[in-house]
Structure 1
Amino acid sequence: MRNNTAHSRNASFANNSIYWTMLLCSLIAGVLLAGCRSQAFYRTQADDDAYFLVAEKNNDPRWDLQRTNITPDPRSRMFDPFSPDCPPMPVDDPAAHQYMEVVDGKRAYWGWERNGVTTDVANPNWMAYLPMNEEGILILDGDKAVEIARLNSPSYQRALEDLYISALDVSFQRFQFDAQFFGGYETFFTSTGPARGGSSSLLEANTRNIQMEKMFATGGQLVVGLANNIMWEFSGPNTHSVNSLIDFSLVQPLLRNGGRKVVLENLTQQERNLLASVRSMERFNQSFYLDIIAGRGLTSSPGNVGGIPSIGPSGAFNASGYYGLLQRQQTIRNQESNIASLRTSLAQLEAFFEAGRIDSFQVELTRQSLFQTQSSLLQSKTTLQNSLDQFKIDMGLPPEINVQLERDNFFEQFNLIDPVFTPVTNKLNDIQSVVGVSLLEVLPDPEAIDPNQPFNPELVWSDEVNQRLQNLRTMTGQLKAILQLINEDLYPLVEEDVTRLENVLPSRVTDLKKIQEKLAGYSEDVPPEVVSNGVLSTRRLEELPPQLRAILDDLRDRFAQHREILDRIDQEVGTLTEQGPNLDSKQLYQRAKAVVFDPVPDEIQTLIADVLSLQLVQARARTETVSLVPVDINSDTALKVARIHRLDWMNAQAAYVDSWRNIQIVANDLLSDLDVVFTGEIGNVGGDNPVKFNSDNGRLRAGLEWDAPLTRLIERNNYRESLIAFQRTRRDYYQYRDRISQGLRSTLRTMDLNRINFELRRAAVQVAISQVERTQLRLQEPAKPNQTNQQFDSSTARDLLNALDSLLSAQNDILTVGVSYEVLRRGLDVDMGTIQLDDRGIWIDPGPVDGKFWEEQVENMGTQSDLPDFHQEQQLLEGIESRTEANPADDPDTPVEILEELPPGQILQPAEAVPANPQLEPPE
């Protein structure tokens, strides 16, 4: 009895050891399996799959993406220097953080901060990579703005991530057709009390979900599984048993849910979607450049393909982006030049008022205009700073970074009056405002001195008089320095501008003649008499350089005379300084008046007028040298080019076919269920060997499963909706094509309008310059003999202000039209799909657009033979549609099968299409 009991205890101990050993092994295996497949492993595995799939689609030079990696550059503000799988915890809101420690009175998870805590949201080192100068200012040009935006823009990063996600969708669909393995193991110890039917203890180990699943392209599904059960009984006879079973199941649908067109649909769609995403990313690159440079992205105008900006009646619009900033900056420079001219005019009118030649109202009118213009300038500068802050955010930069905009070559030509003239004019205005009366106001009035009294030099000469004369000599020296600057820098600069005009004169004459020819071709819409002949006159243009040369020659002589006059004044002031103490009040007053009060103000005023004349010569020359890159292509050719090159058009065409293909996929649900089924299993023989399988312990089963389509209301509705969806997509597609055509026609029409408007604005600038010249000449007219107090006309100030305002408006107008044309030219490159970017994402300027060149390119690419035109596409789809009107369940010749019977590239004509059955009524 004891031996039996001991034997039973030993057996029980052995069985318990086996149990705990197996349980421990199971736990260790589970931990190991969980540990080896870490988060980083799965992340890098997903990256490898996604980048490989994107590279598969990124194999065409028409959409050659330079970057597909979603990890931000270390120079980027978005770069995360911490582990992507175990990032540190961000600093939390204190009130909200308490619920991560204690929630509902329960102690929460303790390990939130085990990876550390960081206060940084952006990359802490990103600003070290910004190309700032020594003063900490970011010098920004157009190319650099695009590069920085590609590094830091969240919208650019999001577009890359969308492409990555599309690749993950493809990896999932491909995985559906791979052999998939599943497995697990479970171990349980069961003890049953006597009240439940007896006393027993069991240790049971089972394999769990060890199986292989495989789906085939035809829709067949194969499942092979292995089941294993090992059981130890610790009570009674101390027995154990092993049961193993291998089973399989193969189901092949023949009608519903069967066939490659249905089974492969999701994979086909995701593969096509990934290709569309790659092309969309390249299209986004093109749009991103244009958006940063001109603020004209693909989505800037809802429902407007190409994002054409809102265009005013004159065909011009205010640009945004980097060009918008430069446009505002140039407008501010024009205002500053205008203010300098207003200050000059105000000083002249004040002098005339003191001389009694003009009334105070005209002086106050000019002063009011100056104040208003200064206020407008301050407002413009504030608007520029606000726009610059928004531009920084668009690039992904914080607005507090100091940015300095560099001039663009395109905008340099719109400096009709070089900014170097502005400080010179302002300095002359400052000198004019203090000189003249500075000495006379401290001299005693000779009429107030009694001539019978003995002469007392101390009553006349004083240290203040001497100091005023020294100040006058200093001002004279400043005038000489300004005159030297004019002769050495400003005058040669204007000469270069006139020389440049002479050099570009032949091309300008050619451009004018082309505009005349194009305008003549618009005789039905735009009569030639609408545009004055003087605007497009080549004779006027050819006569301009000799006229400017004559003015320059005269100004050279005048500046030489200014030098002589200033030398003489300086010499006279020196003599007066030496002789002043020995002169009586009358002599000193007369000499001072002759040396200072009469010549100096007149000299400064004449010098200012000559500097203004020099500026206007430059403005005339530069106005005629401003050029626009010619674009000569008609809308039909542009549409054909876009049809071949636009990546979004390729995607739209593919989406159109996707909608058509969806009809057949949805129609498959209307069919009966007819499946071929094979199932089988085989088990082990005996209770000791788990792998001793024998066919005697097996079973094989084969048969057909059929389900009649008695209830198909949901499927019927889905099918009818798919037909409606296709028709909507069909309409959307040709409307999409129409919107592209409309956009191209509008762009080209507006560019033609801008070309003519640009010449009108150019002529308006010349007219405004002439108005300023005439008003200035009127102010310089000397008083007639014996009429020292000759009055100016009551409209003199108003005419002067109107002339200056007209010049400012004309400068801004020609700038606006020119910028509008340039933005449209770059946008046309995007809209035709011909835009090319370098590896930095910078636009490669194609130069002039020649329509004949593109017509030859279209013909060489064989658009008529290789690519069906729009009308052929419609005929194809209409023919296919007529076949799909019948019930697919009744018509075995589905559109897919019809197309498979056609030779490659064959286009159905309406006469060849199979007509729909007119007697077939729609389902009730």
Structure 2
Amino acid sequence: MRNHTVHYRNASFANILVSWTMLVGSLIAGALLAGCRSQAFYRTQADNDAYFLVAEKNSDPRWHLDRTSITPDPRSRMFDPFSPDCPPMPTDDPAAHQFMEVVDGKKAYWGWERNGVTNEVANPNWLAYLPLNEEGTLLLDGDKAVEIARLNSPDYQRALEDLYISALNVSFQRFRFDAQFFGGYETFFTATGPARAGSSSSVLEANTRNIQMEKLFATGGQLVVGLANNIMWEFSGPDTHSVNSLIDFSLVQPLLRNGGRKVVLENLTQQERDLLASVRSMERFNQSFYLDIIAGRGLAPGPGNVGGVPSIGPNGAFNASGYYGLLQRQQTIRNQESNIASLRSSLAQLEAFFESGRIDSFQVELTRQSLFQTQSSLLSSKTTLQNSLDQFKITMGLPPEINVQLERDRFFEQFNLIDPVFTPITNKLNDIQGTVGTSLLEVLPDPEEIDPNKPFRGELVWDENVKQRFENLRALTAQLKAILQLIDEDLYPLVEEDVAYLEEVLPTRVEDLQKIQEKLAGYSEEVPQETVSNGVLSTKRLEDLPPQLRIILGDLKQRFAQHRGILDKIDQEVAVLLEQGPNLTPDQLYTQAKGVVFDPVPDEVQTLIADVLGLSLVQARARTETVSLVPVDINSETALKVARIHRLDWMNAQAAYVDAWRNIQVVANDLLSDLDVVFSGEIGNVGGDNSVKFNSDNGRLRAGLEWDAPLTRLVERNNYRESLIAFQRTRRAYYQYRDRISQGLRSTLRTMDLNRINFELRRAAVQVAISQVERTQLRLQEPAKPNQTNQQFNSSTARDLLNALDSLLSAQNDFLSVGVSYEVLRRGLDVDMGTIQLDDRGIWIDPGPVDGKFWEEQVENMGPQSDLPDFHQEQRALEGIESRTEANPADDPDTPVEILEELPPGQLMQPEGVQPVNPNLEPPN
């Protein structure tokens, strides 16, 4: 390389000094001005390499990732709108910031704020992309929750970044085998005084620095080629210059230690395999991320966590978390609200009976206490729901102050055994009942003012107060008519539709019950059939239910028609009283009012409440029998074979097992001697004027061997022994990993079978609880016997009513809990088998019913049996050991243990062609 300083031969020293000063100044200024631009160049270069490497490993459709970029979406809360290379300084803590200005009395760096200052931490525009309604509320369903979480979850972003970093590791290992170039340049002007060297001198010297090329070969050989160039110009004395150039090279090829592709390519091989594992782990993370958002059941990466099966309660159910957990809590709140409406109705009935002397005050107070406790429990449940909702927002990456409204899910809709529209109507009737009682009491005279010598009839003096009370009663009858119209137009047709739907799905329900009976017959040893009541799985009971409900509906229709007639009659009588009241004597007014208002109105409201409750119970009976679960019919053996083929983490676990095996050979290489072939040489220029005039006369060539005996290998010996132990640990971890997958699948399928049966038991429990409520309500509607006044109810009437309502609430919640646990396990089974499919939004594609016969055929069509070996064949294949011969009794899995114990150790333990280990083996000399 010719140095440009030779062109300054006739230039003055001052000109040369100025020129070099300008050159150096330009280089420094360019370096300072490059700043963010050069940083962006390297960032973009790293991105291109990483995404290219990820795309290489992302070509298999079994684990194809739709999203690999680590740059957050502009809609995300994590998106940074500022320059990624030169972002503005965040707002600092004032007390800490002073040390960035003055530290230890020294003025600090001045340019911290040159890119600006921002107080924004999250993307300032992200809320504009959040799908809020006009009231600023986020309407959230399951699919939308997953989409928002994929956009804003820091955990999801971190998983993408881990994949990116894994790709960077591969880029470095590939770079090691590229031709790498290094170079630099230095220029110095040296002036020496006469007292130092005997005479003054001025020298300008220019040198090349580190101009070389390095190349690592797959065999371990390392080639280094370098260029050195020195130009010296002496301005004092003879004013001479000299040019010296030298090209040198060195090639070192290890033959034993650190040589060979097995060792040299190990790091690259491992990083390539790790990147493939990272891509598969990311896809596995996508699958588990969906399940974590929906049901709160996530999967940690790696072979340590193979299922994340939640803790199962004694009845096979558990409380889900995630979005389904929120919906489950919301549904239990609806059940509580319905229960409170029924309690209010019951309390109003009992209070009326207490006024008429038919029940004691203790039962009224017992009911009132139960109502207060249930209301308190409802408030606690709502608070728990809000706390859980805030935690769920954080899981999605949203701030907890965002208003969120949960939208209903199709799966949960079927557990609305009593439609929520009944609750406000029942509450309205309860309010009317209380208002009627208050109005009548205010119209009646004060008992202390009644003449004891006269028969109790009371006296009503017509005035504006009495008139207003009658007008209020007439307004209440109008409200009752409006409620009856709502029942006729909305509630009654809705219940009829539910009964019709029950008739429609009846054949499917009967078929399901028969399949459960068949499965129970197959479990005759594990689950005795007598443990499940025959009535629970009776198809005749189910077939008889729709006609029974039709009869009840017909009776209720007639009763609602009677209610309309009674209300019309009461309305007419009240109108007459309003017209004739001023002309009636107090005695006449009281007699007519009692006959047409004081007696009929409370009874009418009470019976109407009871009939509305009866209509809701008909709906509950019908809907209880139409709730369905998606069938899953696959055994654990088939599920394990499917998981062996499809689970991405199993593929990674098998690859990690082989990595540990391969590491033994790599570490063992360090036990060898160092034996290297060395080939080096150099050649220089001839003459002092031409820096590239190289000549072999001014060169040297050197070749030879370098050997280092393995006299000290204690560290290497220990490392080798540790690698053997690590392999055995990985080997054990691998088959334990396989066992945990098998255990998880068996537990999941066993629990799902339990839930299928338990679901029918819970369904029957709901029907029994409904019957209990019906019987207690019928008891309250029993009229007093003729010629008997103040006929008392049984002393346990209120307690029986409260127990019935409480049993219905508990049965509804248990029914829901078992159904939710089954659905979560069904989705989890899809993940555990590795068959889960997501769309481009990360939303689960429901596979519908799981048919074990279909999957058995799929497994068989995957290829010959060798493609799906049993576990022991799998182990031998991974260890590189050939199969045993047929003549070896140890090969036969049916060989009795007694025979195996009598075989010689070599025949028992060693496959054909592998010599047994000599326990007296001595180390080599």
Q: Partner residue of 1:22?
A: 20
Mark the runs of 5 or more structure 2 residues left unpaired by the alignment. Answer: 1-7, 884-908
Q: Partner residue of 1:435?
A: 436
Q: Partner residue of 1:675?
A: 676
Q: Partner residue of 1:651?
A: 652
Q: Deviations over 1:491-516 (max 9, x none)?
A: 00000000000000000000000001
Q: Secondary structure at 2:12's aligned position in 1?
A: helix
Q: CA–CA distance in 2 between the matches of 1:923 and 1:385? A: 72
What is the Cα deviation at residue 236 of structure 1?
Answer: 1.7
Alignment pair present for 1:100 and 2:75: no
State the one-letter code of the partner of 2:657. Y
Q: CA–CA distance in 1 between the matches of 2:453 and 2:666? A: 124
Q: Secondary structure at 1:786's aligned position in 2?
A: coil
Task: Check whether the contact 2:661–2:879 (CA below 8 A) recurs between aligned residues.
Answer: no
State the one-letter code of the partner of 1:409. R
Q: Partner residue of 1:51?
A: 51
Q: Secondary structure at 1:865's aligned position in 2?
A: helix
What is the Cα deviation at residue 869 of structure 1?
Answer: 3.3
Q: CA–CA distance in 1 between the matches of 2:579 and 2:302? A: 76
Q: Partner residue of 2:308?
A: 307
Alignment pair present for 1:263 and 2:261: no
Task: Check whether the contact 1:639–1:740 (CA below 8 A) recurs between aligned residues.
Answer: yes
Q: Report the CA distance shift for 1:213/1:878 in structure 2 as closer, same or farther (over 3 A).
A: closer
Task: Check whether the contact 2:459–2:590 (CA below 8 A) recurs between aligned residues.
Answer: no
Q: CA–CA distance in 2 between the matches of 1:426 and 1:53? A: 65
Q: Deviations over 1:854-911 (max 9, x none)?
A: 00000001261334332112223456599xxxxxxxxxxxxxxxxxxxxxxxxx9923
Q: Partner residue of 2:603?
A: 602
Task: Check whether the contact 2:445–2:459 (CA below 8 A) recurs between aligned residues.
Answer: no
Q: Partner residue of 1:900?
A: none
Task: Check whether the contact 2:89–2:117 (CA below 8 A) recurs between aligned residues.
Answer: yes
Q: CA–CA distance in 2 between the matches of 1:613 and 1:651? A: 59
Q: Secondary structure at 2:680's aligned position in 1?
A: strand
Q: CA–CA distance in 2 between the matches of 1:303 and 1:175? A: 33
State the one-letter code of the partner of 1:591. Q
Task: Check whether the contact 1:11–1:238 (CA below 8 A) recurs between aligned residues.
Answer: no
State the one-letter code of the partner of 2:680. T
Structure 2 matches for 1:1-16, cutoff 5 A? 14-16=12-14
Q: CA–CA distance in 2 between the matches of 1:449 and 1:639? A: 86
Q: Report the CA distance shift for 1:475/1:922 in structure 2 as closer, same or farther (over 3 A).
A: farther
State the one-letter code of the partner of 2:64. D
Which of 441-450 and 512-521 deviates more?
Answer: 441-450
Q: Secondary structure at 1:165's aligned position in 2?
A: helix
Task: Check whether the contact 1:300–1:307 (CA below 8 A) recurs between aligned residues.
Answer: no
Q: Secondary structure at 1:435's aligned position in 2?
A: helix
Q: CA–CA distance in 2 between the matches of 1:848 and 1:682? A: 78
Task: Check whether the contact 1:875–1:909 (CA below 8 A) recurs between aligned residues.
Answer: no
Task: Check whether the contact 1:771–1:803 (CA below 8 A) recurs between aligned residues.
Answer: yes
What is the Cα deviation at residue 575 of structure 1?
Answer: 0.5
Task: Check whether the contact 1:878–1:910 (CA below 8 A) recurs between aligned residues.
Answer: no
Q: Secondary structure at 2:209's aligned position in 1?
A: strand
What is the Cα deviation at residue 450 of structure 1?
Answer: 8.4
Structure 2 matches for 1:769-788, cutoff 5 A? 769-788=770-789
Q: Report the CA distance shift for 1:717/1:447 in structure 2 as closer, same or farther (over 3 A).
A: closer
What is the Cα deviation at residue 275 of structure 1?
Answer: 0.4
Q: CA–CA distance in 1 between the matches of 2:648 and 2:33? A: 45
Q: Partner residue of 2:546?
A: 545
What is the Cα deviation at residue 11 of structure 1?
Answer: 8.8
Q: CA–CA distance in 2 between the matches of 1:918 and 1:441? A: 106
Q: CA–CA distance in 1 between the matches of 2:76 and 2:500? A: 47
State the one-letter code of the partner of 1:400. E
Q: Partner residue of 1:401?
A: 402
Q: CA–CA distance in 2 between the matches of 1:69 and 1:909? A: 50
Q: Report the CA distance shift for 1:331/1:361 in structure 2 as closer, same or farther (over 3 A).
A: same
Alignment pair present for 1:180 and 2:190: no
State the one-letter code of the partner of 1:18. I
Q: Secondary structure at 2:825's aligned position in 1?
A: helix
What is the Cα deviation at residue 785 of structure 1?
Answer: 1.0
Task: Check whether the contact 1:519–1:528 (CA below 8 A) recurs between aligned residues.
Answer: yes
Q: Report the CA distance shift for 1:11/1:705 in structure 2 as closer, same or farther (over 3 A).
A: closer
Task: Check whether the contact 2:882–2:912 (CA below 8 A) recurs between aligned residues.
Answer: no
What is the Cα deviation at residue 26 of structure 1?
Answer: 4.4
Q: CA–CA distance in 2 between the matches of 1:809 and 1:54? A: 52
What is the Cα deviation at residue 23 of structure 1?
Answer: 4.7
Q: CA–CA distance in 2 between the matches of 1:878 and 1:277? A: 24
Task: Check whether the contact 1:300–1:309 (CA below 8 A) recurs between aligned residues.
Answer: no
Q: CA–CA distance in 1 between the matches of 2:360 and 2:302? A: 54
Q: Secondary structure at 1:680's aligned position in 2?
A: strand
Q: CA–CA distance in 1 between the matches of 2:628 and 2:451? A: 71
What is the Cα deviation at residue 30 of structure 1?
Answer: 5.7
Q: Report the CA distance shift for 1:440/1:920 in structure 2 as closer, same or farther (over 3 A).
A: closer
Q: CA–CA distance in 1 between the matches of 2:447 and 2:330? A: 54
Q: CA–CA distance in 2 between the matches of 1:445 and 1:151? A: 70
Root-mean-square deviation over aligned CA pairs: 2.2
What is the Cα deviation at residue 440 of structure 1?
Answer: 5.1
Task: Check whether the contact 2:286–2:842 (CA below 8 A) recurs between aligned residues.
Answer: yes
Q: Deviations over 1:197-248 (max 9, x none)?
A: 3222221110000000111111110000000000111222111110000000
State the one-letter code of the partner of 1:510. E
Task: Check whether the contact 2:228–2:247 (CA below 8 A) recurs between aligned residues.
Answer: yes
Q: CA–CA distance in 1 between the matches of 2:40 and 2:840? A: 30
TM-score (norm 1): 0.93
Q: Secondary structure at 1:262's aligned position in 2?
A: helix
Q: Deviations over 1:395-450 (max 9, x none)?
A: 00000000000000000000000000000000000010121452453344799688
State the one-letter code of the partner of 1:727. Q
Q: Secondary structure at 1:38's aligned position in 2?
A: helix
What is the Cα deviation at residue 306 of structure 1?
Answer: 1.1
Q: Report the CA distance shift for 1:921/1:784 in structure 2 as closer, same or farther (over 3 A).
A: farther
Structure 2 matches for 1:403-418, cutoff 5 A? 403-418=404-419
Q: Partner residue of 2:511?
A: 510
Q: Partner residue of 1:889?
A: none
Q: Partner residue of 2:621?
A: 620
Q: CA–CA distance in 2 between the matches of 1:50 and 1:879? A: 34
Q: Partner residue of 1:283?
A: 284
Q: Report the CA distance shift for 1:617/1:259 in structure 2 as closer, same or farther (over 3 A).
A: same
Task: Check whether the contact 1:91–1:119 (CA below 8 A) recurs between aligned residues.
Answer: yes
What is the Cα deviation at residue 15 of structure 1?
Answer: 3.4
Structure 2 matches for 1:113-132, cutoff 5 A? 113-132=113-132
Q: CA–CA distance in 1 between the matches of 2:703 and 2:567? A: 118
Q: Partner residue of 1:893?
A: none
Q: Partner residue of 1:6?
A: none
Q: Secondary structure at 2:267's aligned position in 1?
A: helix
State the one-letter code of the partner of 2:651. M
State the one-letter code of the partner of 1:632. D
TM-score (norm 2): 0.93
Task: Check whether the contact 1:436–1:600 (CA below 8 A) recurs between aligned residues.
Answer: no
State the one-letter code of the partner of 1:21. S
Q: Partner residue of 2:887?
A: none
Q: Secondary structure at 1:226's aligned position in 2?
A: strand
Q: Report the CA distance shift for 1:770/1:385 in structure 2 as closer, same or farther (over 3 A).
A: same
Q: Secondary structure at 1:250's aligned position in 2?
A: strand
Q: Secondary structure at 2:545's aligned position in 1?
A: helix
Alignment pair present for 1:84 and 2:94: no
Q: Partner residue of 2:40?
A: 40
Structure 2 matches for 1:349-748, cutoff 5 A? 349-436=350-437, 438-439=439-440, 441-444=442-445, 460-748=461-749
Q: CA–CA distance in 2 between the matches of 1:825 and 1:807? A: 27
Q: CA–CA distance in 2 between the matches of 1:445 and 1:769? A: 42
Q: Partner residue of 1:885?
A: none
Q: Deviations over 1:593-645 (max 9, x none)?
A: 11111100101111011001100000000000000000000000000000000
Task: Check whether the contact 1:439–1:469 (CA below 8 A) recurs between aligned residues.
Answer: no
Task: Check whether the contact 1:440–1:597 (CA below 8 A) recurs between aligned residues.
Answer: no
Percent of aligned pairs with the same amino acid: 86
Which of 495-504 and 235-244 deviates more?
Answer: 235-244
Q: CA–CA distance in 2 between the matches of 1:705 and 1:46? A: 39
Task: Check whether the contact 2:291–2:297 (CA below 8 A) recurs between aligned residues.
Answer: yes
Task: Check whether the contact 2:563–2:608 (CA below 8 A) recurs between aligned residues.
Answer: yes
Q: CA–CA distance in 2 between the matches of 1:371 and 1:909? A: 76
Task: Check whether the contact 1:613–1:773 (CA below 8 A) recurs between aligned residues.
Answer: yes
Structure 2 matches for 1:204-215, cutoff 5 A? 204-215=205-216
Q: Secondary structure at 1:507's aligned position in 2?
A: helix
Q: Report the CA distance shift for 1:437/1:692 in structure 2 as closer, same or farther (over 3 A).
A: closer
